[in-house]
Amino acid sequence: MSPFKNPIRWSRSVAGSSSRVKLLAILHILAGIMVVWFEGHLVFVLFTTVFPIFYLYTMRHLLLALDQKEEKSENAN
């Protein structure tokens, strides 16, 4: 499946199920905790936990909105 022919379906297949997204979020949180534990810098937590989780959350809602728009346009035709 090419990302250029059908980017919405490709993005969904790459993002996977919601359990996979939750697993990635948990791993990012653990990575952030380890960085603070070993390095002592809270700034790195933003780059290892908060921003990736926000990015995944935003992309998931964007894909859902695009799907709804695509379904509405198909139903209108």
pTM comes to: 0.40
Termini Cα distance of the chain? 26
Residue 2's pLDDT band, with cuts at 50, 70 and 90, is low
The string of pLDDT tens digits covering residues 17-73 is 667 767 777 887 787 777 777 776 767 667 766 777 777 778 888 888 888 888 888
What's the number of CA atoms in the CB half-sphere (13 Å) around residue 6?
8
Domain locations in the chain as residue ranges: 7-76
